[in-house]
Structure 1
Amino acid sequence: MSLKAFIPSLVLEKPTTGKERDKSSIQCLEACGRNLYIGGKDSLIQHFVVMDEGGPGPGMEGKSAGIREVRRRQLGSRSPISQLGAIPFLNHLLVLSDGSLSALNMFSLEPLPGLRRIRSVSFFHLHGADVSAQPSPAVELFTLSARRRSVNIHSVWVDRWDCLREVSLPQEPLSLAVDRSSLCVAAGDRYFLHDHEAGATLDLFPHDLPKQGVIVNAIGKGEFLLHGPGSLGMFVTRSGVSGRPPIQWSEGVLGAVVHFPYVLTLCSEALHIYSMLDQRIKQTIPLSRAKGLFSTPERVFAFSEREVLCLSPVALEEQIKALVASQHVDAALDFVQGVQSLLSKDTYKVLHNNLTCTLGFVKFYQERFSEAKYLFIEGNLDPREIIALYPEHYPVCKDFVSQHAPVFNAKDLRALKEDCATFERYQSFLTNFLREVQWSDQSHHCRQDVDGVLLKLYLERGNEADLVELLSSANACVLNTCVPYLECHKRFYALGLLYQSHSQDENAIQTWVNIVDGDDPDGMSSAAYEQVVNALRQQKSRQLVWKFADWALQKSQEVGVQIFTSREEEQAPFEEEEVLSFLNKHHLALALYLEHLIFALKSKKERHHTLLAMTYVTQVLGIVEKGEGSNITANSTREKLQQFLWKSTLYSTVAVQEQIQATSLHLERAILHGVAGEHRKALEVLVHGEKDLQAAEDYCRMARSNQAKEFGSPLYHLLLNIYLDSPQLATKATDLLNRNAEAFDPVAVLRVLPGTWSMPLVSRFLSESVRGLVHRRKMGGVERNLAKVEHFRHKCTRTTLTRGMIKVERDQGQTRIRKFPGHGLPCGRTGGLRGSNGVPGQYSHGRHLTGEMMNSLL
């Protein structure tokens, strides 16, 4: 892939005729800003000023740039000048000729008397300007001596240079590059790294290049460019590893420089430009009889014996546009990422996002939708750019103007509508993309468009679950456009959600009420009713609650009562009496609300407990009157009533007794007698009124579980007496005794039994009763003995803890006791005890410390 990365322009062309032709040929070049220095074959130094500082613009390729000769100087040696080097902040120009390095003034080209020649120099390198050096700025100068196999390190000031160190090298050096303390040296047959501070040498790789083909350049950030074997451009770091892939150069490379992101290589007849990003050749510039290259931060100079060519880099933005125009968008994106270090943060962000989105459009029209979605999100594309491609989903904002130019493979989606399968794939992409960016910052400024288009897409594609999810949460759908759309498609349940999400609660509830009352084209009656209840449960407006609460209870009392029992914590609760009055005609809801007050809110009000009991009675009687006594609901309600009568102690027994007095609820009457302490009446009601002997026994068992353990025996004896008073129940008395032998006192039973009963009738009872008495007596003995053991264990522990030495001290009228662990004498002995006066077993007042005293102190 060709690319115009540099624009060449002719800077200088020397005459090709005359006697001085060979002597004035160009040998080396140095550029510093607008100053251009040329070293000739006959020791002639020429100073030029480039007039067109910005370089040629578009359309100036091949044209001569303005240049003016300022001054020239002829050195006395008449030897070719092999190297020039400028130190701009010192105004020095270093000249290497005939193995000697001298210094001239950059502008007058006069010799500097304080800087004497440095001899035996085959190559030099300027590195590391130190502007803060004292007493004046300085720069590091490295001079290479092939004959001595060494590198000398100098510091160059305005008026002098000093040799700081001489570094010996293992081989004869031809050229070098410097990065910090690392010297990358090219020898006759190999390249190696040498750290002049640590004295360590690292061989890199051998080469078989001629002297003029050896290339070693420092390219910044601890990296070097080397001409390797096989015409490979090798990148090597200071640690000796390669951080980039090599570049395959053409044969016969004479020189190479780096002007990021390109490597320019010079051959005798052409200049080749390679990309460091993909290692491919991008541009070729013909150049006859080329000799060398020189790079500055602004441009690159290439020269032959008679010409100097200036290569001005094309602006990065122009290169990117050229790549896009040539349909290489992916290459343009890679290029921008590769040159990020050359761009400002804002410029890079804009370029990167634009190219990412452009590549996304290319993938979009190729139907590579997964890649396109990723690129659109990464490039922070305005979702309206995609929406605008679909004719039926044009953005809400009519002033929106697309910022992206059409790509080369763009299609008109209107024409695709005839191909249903293809257009469906594009619709699916739009749905997925908008769903992905819906809650991101990418769509923050156009939420109305995103949510509105999603609503339409869900409706058209039949995505009911997605539509409900969209409208159940906060959304930015525009009511004026979305309400008619939902009504047209008869999605009334979703319409209610839309109203609710925009705080139009009354419209939402009324819409759902209409669905439940018959307007149910989409089969959402049950869900609509739940939404009504939930909306009322969360509603702040009490007026709205009272408006629809009765309707909700008529549909389902069990669900509708949640409006009052499951009200949100942040909403103010209703007055209890107000709700009770409202629920008076809805008995099931009233019972559920009272259960909420009593069991959940722990209400202790007698009115609430009494009202719940009477509500239970009303429910049970209502079911019994309808002939549904065996109904599961009736049995469940009656069981709840019985449990409540047993466990609650706050209801009015008189009021409940009056309500069930003339009813068939004998078991409940018995429970009320039992709660009032009238256990004989309770048992008589169950035995003679209900005629349910099992219920009578259950009553005794229930009363026994709710009372003290010893309370059970009197109840069972009462029941036994009732059985014995009725001759027809005598046989039931034996069953009672045999089933509940542990609940009776055998002596008391024998006293009341008729004398006509034979021993076999009560033998089982007596056997189990006596066995139970013996068992309880033995278990009681075991428990007493265990308690004694526990008591002795604690007593022993206390005795052990009270043994030891103590010291009683008196300090400022206060007595302090200090205890020391040890094996003292048992309590009551005074041996080993000392008072503060040193007398064994005495207080500081001279009294003996007895065992009782010690125990009382401890």
Structure 2
Amino acid sequence: MLTSISCQAVVTCGGSAKSHFINFRKNSGGKDSSREVGTAEFGSFLKLILSLKIRNLDISLMAFRPFTQKHVFKKLVAPKERDKASIHSLECYGQNLYIGTKNASVQHLIFPRSSDGDQHPGQWSVREGRTRKLGSTSSVAQLRAIPLFNHLLVLCDRSIAALNMFSLEPIPALKKIQHVSLFEVWNPLLPDQTPHVQMVTSSSRRKVIQIHMVGVDSWEVMKEIFVLQDPVALAVDGSSMCYATTDKYLLCDIHTGSSEELFPHSHSRQQAIVFSVGQGEFLLNGPEYLGMFVMKTGTCQRPPLQWPREVLAAAMCFPYIVTLQPQFLSIYSMVDLQQKQTVNLQGAKGLLSASDGVLVFTERDVFSLRLVPFQEQIQALVQEGKVEEDSLLLDGVQARCLPDSCKELQQNISCLAGFAKFYKQDFPEAKDLFIKGHLDPREIIQLYPDMQSIIGIDFHSQLHEKNKIKNLRSRWEEDRSVFLSYLYFLEEFLLTVRDTQQVLASVKEVDSALLRLYVELGDAESLQQFVASPNKCELDLCVPVLEKHKRFYALGSLFQSHGKLTDAIQIWVNLADGIHKDDSFTDVYEHIVWTLSEMQDRDVVWKFADWTLKRNQEIGVHIFTGRRPEDQVESGDVLALLEEYPLAMLLYLEFLIHNLKSEEERHHNYLALAYADRILQVGEEMHLKTREKLQQHLWESKFYDISIVYEHVKSTFLHKEKAILLGRAGKYSEAFHLLVQGHDPKTAEAYCFRAAQGRDSQFRETLFLTLLQIYLSSEDLISATVDLLSNNPGVFAATKVVHLLPDSWSVQLASKFLFGSFRETLHQRRMTMLQKALSEAELMRHNVMRMQASKTKFRLDRGQTCDVCQKEFAEPQFCSLHGNMMHLDCAGS
């Protein structure tokens, strides 16, 4: 079954880096050209990383080595048979290893299965199985296993024979395929479910490549592709085939048979290397000692691999490529295309990709290059400080592990890189890497000496870099500026992750650390904003810090945000009373009042109400007047409390009446009496504004009891107020006498106008006539009478005034009034005539419009419809509006 797996890698060449996608897929017949990483292995890898996260490892590795070498098998032969029985080819599947020799023999070796399911041939002593002599003197050139059918295909003496994988007996139904120089098998993605494997062969007699369909008991040629030169090496990946001739490399589409020349080469037949490294991608031994990666489209998606001279063979074990030279093996990473390891091995003849490594054979020995488990590779890279390479390695293998496991691994690699940047004071990158790696913020917090007490006992740090931590703290002690830079970094990091999923398990530690940071950095504004907003600070840890640094205002806000309202207000009260000192905030009293006005806990409000009012009645009353309308305190309870605070009482009553629009009689009575008492306490001259408020209240309010208020001010000097009350009671004559006795004619005149507001002219005239009669009753008020008449000629009717004037008055004395009255009368008459003329003109205009409309002719034809409802006129009555014909009912609508 053909499976494709993809991973992302970063490759570098010539000092530049590019991002590419590398795809790895299984080879035909179950043979692995890449290594699959098992779930169990990655589970152990994850556990190791979680335990290591950010610590130095105890394993002693001098350098990063992705493979370990082990001797697997030594072929024992008689001295006379040494040359004839030398190993010439290998094939491996699972526990089975097949050796093809120079004297046309096939030997089966079996490796026991370990208890944990590891089938690697380098871990256990082998057991020799059957050996099959093929009846020829030629060497076994190629071996390929087809586990789907339990077949082993053998290329020997230019013919392909099919043997049983276990008994090595020939398959009778499959006759030999003659005249073959090369072959390869693969498992195609067929549209039907028929079990078949495809095979490509290169003819040794004709310049042709044949495509075979192989079944359990048959194989047949499906297609022939003619070539200009005989292939010396070939590889197949899906529908694409890449092959080498003696002087060039070519790509061929198996479906269409079309070929495309890639580039020339000058290698020998053995050095012409072609093998598939992924979905639609091949690695070729190119010119100038370059391993060329070529896609099936004929293009290169990444730089070439720089490898040494005289490369004789190559194999792949994900994510590495192993090359064979006469004296040694070179191992390169497919992630960054850099050489990672060199293995000295004399006399090696060939390579074979195995399940988790590469098999290397000489004439008599088989060696295993076993891939070091990825966790150990990570250990080595961490030991060498190559954190970035760690990340690249994980990027390369992440497509081979479970998504969740790879996500955890990537996060922890990011944390490793983040700490490397952190120690170097590269804070922006460190922060980004910590966030990417979902680092537990407690790992950073516990590095700071003064914050270790914040961390809970349930937290077990994975950070064991004791030497680095010790050195870091020594730097902090020596250089305060360095320490401050680390504090600022911690603040920025914690603020960034505070509202994310990253701190769900450590929100208390994060908030407590932020509070300490603000205190340590002296950032009073940020501290206040932080403690006043919802937070999860541990009070037992944070309260002593704020008390030690005399941040009592912030301490009260911290108590408030945690619901300890009484403690919060008490701290602020002590601060306002001078018991505590805090230079970071001065306006504590007003903040207390505002807080109480917003507070819904009535018990706390009543507890501190007396204190606020005693300190300042005008500001303190805001704990009641500053509340939202829906959150008002019972007015009766408030008034009972405010009896000892007259100014606060007055302000609260104003709030009830003017803001809350109270219509309760007692509220209006209390306010009038409060105004009067305040005026009487300090004298008339000191409270002109209060007296104006009293007069306005007496004029405008309709809800107070006149008799109660009048009795309260009856014996005082508040004559204007008493006159207003008498007037509100309908006793205008008494009110005028009171004002006249006070020798205040102008006030009496103004009183008439104010009392007449909203009433008709006749009522106003009656008031003025009453005042006139009072003036005329005293000879001492002749001057005031003349002024009254002269100032208000339009108010009095001249005929009524003449009848009231005494006979002793001369015409000259009343001339100003008479002249003004005459002018007013004449003006009113003219205005009446003007209004009449305007009305008559308006009437005439309407009459003209009516006459014009009545003389207009309209034609109403049979079947004509209304312009509004579109129905026919059934009656002769109709209406025409702006030229539109409509029913009378439609015109009304």
TM-score range, shorter chain: 0.7 to 0.9
1:503 and 2:563 are equivalent in the alignment: yes
SS of residue matched to 1:90: coil
1:230 and 2:288 are equivalent in the alignment: yes
1:827 and 2:886 are equivalent in the alignment: no
The alpha-carbon deviation at position 619 of structure 1 amounts to: 4.2
The alpha-carbon deviation at position 205 of structure 1 amounts to: 5.2
Name the counterpart of 1:585.
Answer: 644
Match of 1:250 among 286, 299, 308: 308
Alignment of 1:93-492 (within 5 A): 93-128=152-187, 134=193, 137-145=195-203, 151-166=209-224, 174-186=232-244, 191=249, 193-197=251-255, 207=265, 209-345=267-403, 347-396=405-454, 397=456, 401-406=460-465, 409-412=468-471, 415-416=474-475, 417-492=477-552
Give the counterpart letter for 2:239 in structure 1. Answer: S
Residues 18 and 532 of structure 1, relative CA distance in 2, 3 Å threshold: same
Residues 712 and 254 of structure 1, relative CA distance in 2, 3 Å threshold: farther
Name the counterpart of 2:593.
Answer: 533
Residues 385 and 757 of structure 1, relative CA distance in 2, 3 Å threshold: closer
Q: Distance in 2 between matches of 1:744 and 1:142?
A: 130
Residues 595 and 193 of structure 1, relative CA distance in 2, 3 Å threshold: farther
Q: Distance in 1 between matches of 2:862 and 2:453?
A: 93
2:621–2:648 contact (8 Å) kept in structure 1: yes
Residues 371 and 355 of structure 1, relative CA distance in 2, 3 Å threshold: same
SS of residue matched to 1:389: coil
1:183–1:196 contact (8 Å) kept in structure 2: yes
Residues 292 and 679 of structure 1, relative CA distance in 2, 3 Å threshold: farther
Which string of whole-angstrom CA distances, capped at 9 and with x for unpartnered residues, describes residues 769-808 of structure 1? 677657766776788899999999999xxx999997899x
2:63–2:380 contact (8 Å) kept in structure 1: no
Q: Distance in 2 between matches of 1:577 and 1:354?
A: 66
Residues 592 and 767 of structure 1, relative CA distance in 2, 3 Å threshold: same
Q: Distance in 1 between matches of 2:273 and 2:482?
A: 57
Name the counterpart of 1:31.
Answer: 92
2:316–2:358 contact (8 Å) kept in structure 1: no
1:185–1:191 contact (8 Å) kept in structure 2: yes
Residues 856 and 303 of structure 1, relative CA distance in 2, 3 Å threshold: closer
Q: Which segment drifts farther, 444-453 or 490-499?
A: 444-453
SS of residue matched to 1:110: coil
Q: Which segment drifts farther, 21-30 or 644-653?
A: 644-653
SS of residue matched to 2:550: coil
SS of residue matched to 1:395: helix
Q: Distance in 1 between matches of 2:99 and 2:320?
A: 25
Name the counterpart of 2:140.
Answer: 81
1:607 and 2:669 are equivalent in the alignment: no
1:361–1:407 contact (8 Å) kept in structure 2: no
Q: Distance in 1 between matches of 2:217 and 2:301?
A: 41
Which string of whole-angstrom CA distances, capped at 9 and with x for unpartnered residues, describes residues 640-685 of structure 1? 5555555543333444444445556566566656666778887887
Residues 786 and 156 of structure 1, relative CA distance in 2, 3 Å threshold: farther
SS of residue matched to 1:89: coil
Residues 680 and 569 of structure 1, relative CA distance in 2, 3 Å threshold: closer
SS of residue matched to 2:370: strand
2:657–2:668 contact (8 Å) kept in structure 1: yes
Name the counterpart of 2:45.
Answer: none
Name the counterpart of 1:715.
Answer: 764
SS of residue matched to 1:756: helix
Residues 215 and 852 of structure 1, relative CA distance in 2, 3 Å threshold: closer
The alpha-carbon deviation at position 601 of structure 1 amounts to: 4.1
Q: Distance in 2 between matches of 1:662 and 1:801?
A: 87
Give the counterpart letter for 1:113 in structure 2. Answer: P
Give the counterpart letter for 2:427 in structure 1. Answer: F
1:236–1:242 contact (8 Å) kept in structure 2: yes
Q: Distance in 1 between matches of 2:255 and 2:844?
A: 91
The alpha-carbon deviation at position 4 of structure 1 amounts to: 0.7
Q: Distance in 2 between matches of 1:412 and 1:47?
A: 60
Q: Distance in 2 between matches of 1:680 and 1:340?
A: 104
SS of residue matched to 1:230: helix
User: Structure 2: which 5+ residue stretches go unaligned?
Assistant: 1-61, 777-781, 806-810, 879-885
Q: Distance in 1 between matches of 2:257 and 2:849?
A: 85
| TM-score, length basis structure 2 | 0.75
Task: Provide the alpha-carbon RMSD of the alignment.
Answer: 5.0
Which string of whole-angstrom CA distances, capped at 9 and with x for unpartnered residues, describes residues 128-162 of structure 1? 3679965x633333334587666544433222234
The alpha-carbon deviation at position 114 of structure 1 amounts to: 1.8
Which string of whole-angstrom CA distances, capped at 9 and with x for unpartnered residues, describes residues 218-238 of structure 1? 333444333344333333445
Q: Distance in 1 between matches of 2:561 and 2:64?
A: 56
1:448–1:476 contact (8 Å) kept in structure 2: yes
Q: Distance in 2 between matches of 1:749 and 1:198?
A: 128
The alpha-carbon deviation at position 581 of structure 1 amounts to: 1.8
The alpha-carbon deviation at position 110 of structure 1 amounts to: 1.6
Give the counterpart letter for 1:582 in structure 2. Answer: L
SS of residue matched to 1:218: strand
Q: Distance in 1 between matches of 2:318 and 2:686?
A: 94
The alpha-carbon deviation at position 32 of structure 1 amounts to: 0.5
Q: Distance in 1 between matches of 2:551 and 2:280?
A: 68
Name the counterpart of 2:705.
Answer: 652
The alpha-carbon deviation at position 514 of structure 1 amounts to: 1.7
The alpha-carbon deviation at position 570 of structure 1 amounts to: 8.9
SS of residue matched to 2:531: helix
What is the aligned residue count? 804
Give the counterpart letter for 2:389 in structure 1. Answer: A
Q: Which segment drifts farther, 508-517 or 234-243?
A: 234-243
SS of residue matched to 1:574: coil
Q: Distance in 2 between matches of 1:748 and 1:146?
A: 147
The alpha-carbon deviation at position 404 of structure 1 amounts to: 1.8
Q: Distance in 1 between matches of 2:743 and 2:293?
A: 106
Q: Which segment drifts farther, 658-667 or 754-763?
A: 754-763
Which string of whole-angstrom CA distances, capped at 9 and with x for unpartnered residues, describes residues 522-553 of structure 1? 24775432443345345555443322111112
Residues 779 and 88 of structure 1, relative CA distance in 2, 3 Å threshold: farther
The alpha-carbon deviation at position 165 of structure 1 amounts to: 4.5
SS of residue matched to 2:579: coil
Match of 1:515 among 575, 590, 595: 575
Which string of whole-angstrom CA distances, capped at 9 and with x for unpartnered residues, describes residues 592-636 of structure 1? 4344444554434333334334434444555645x424xxxx52x
Which string of whole-angstrom CA distances, capped at 9 and with x for unpartnered residues, describes residues 288-325 of structure 1? 34433221232211234444321100011111111111
Q: Distance in 1 between matches of 2:469 and 2:170?
A: 67
Residues 352 and 852 of structure 1, relative CA distance in 2, 3 Å threshold: closer
SS of residue matched to 1:213: coil
Q: Which segment drifts farther, 777-786 or 458-467?
A: 777-786
Q: Which segment drifts farther, 339-348 or 188-197?
A: 188-197
Residues 467 and 108 of structure 1, relative CA distance in 2, 3 Å threshold: same
Give the counterpart letter for 1:332 in structure 2. Answer: D
Give the counterpart letter for 1:234 in structure 2. Answer: M
Q: Distance in 2 between matches of 1:212 and 1:108?
A: 32
The alpha-carbon deviation at position 368 of structure 1 amounts to: 2.8
Q: Which segment drifts farther, 165-174 or 497-506?
A: 165-174
The alpha-carbon deviation at position 7 of structure 1 amounts to: 0.8
The alpha-carbon deviation at position 364 of structure 1 amounts to: 3.0
1:10–1:65 contact (8 Å) kept in structure 2: no
Give the counterpart letter for 1:295 in structure 2. Answer: S
Question: Higher relative contact order at CA 8 Å, sep ≥6: structure 1 or structure 2?
Answer: 2
Q: Distance in 1 between matches of 2:494 and 2:169?
A: 72
